[in-house]
Amino acid sequence: MDFQLSPAQLEIQERARQFAQQEVAPLSREADEQGMFPLHLVRRMGELGFLAVPVAPEYGGGGLDYVSYVVLCEELGRVDASVRGL
């Protein structure tokens, strides 16, 4: 059994890591202190294809596999667990 990530999964991992570090992390502490979620991140996640990842494209989703979804959640959860659950 091969446990290596595919090239597509590695690409999602890298895009998610960059998004988390560059766009989520700078807002994380401020959002926690204010008790508010930065809603513009939801729109940005949609633009990046990070919403409805495992849902079939005919239903508006990304149509990606569950390993890709887990990789995405791991990267987002590294900086802010509240973003991971979207």
Contact 80, 20 (CB under 8 A): yes
The rounded distance, in Å, linking the Cα atoms of 46 and 52 is 9
Record the pTM: 0.84
Q: Which of 3-21 are b and which e, b meaning 16 or more Cβ less than 10 Å from the residue's Cβ?
A: eeeeeebeebbeebbebbe
Q: Which CATH superfamily is domain 7-84 in?
A: Acyl-CoA dehydrogenase/oxidase, N-terminal domain (1.10.540.10)
What CA–CA distances, in Å, run from 49 to 31, 42, 66? 23, 11, 14
Tens digits of per-residue pLDDT, 12-57?
999 999 999 999 988 877 666 677 778 888 899 999 999 999 999 9
Domain ranges for the chain, please list them: 7-84
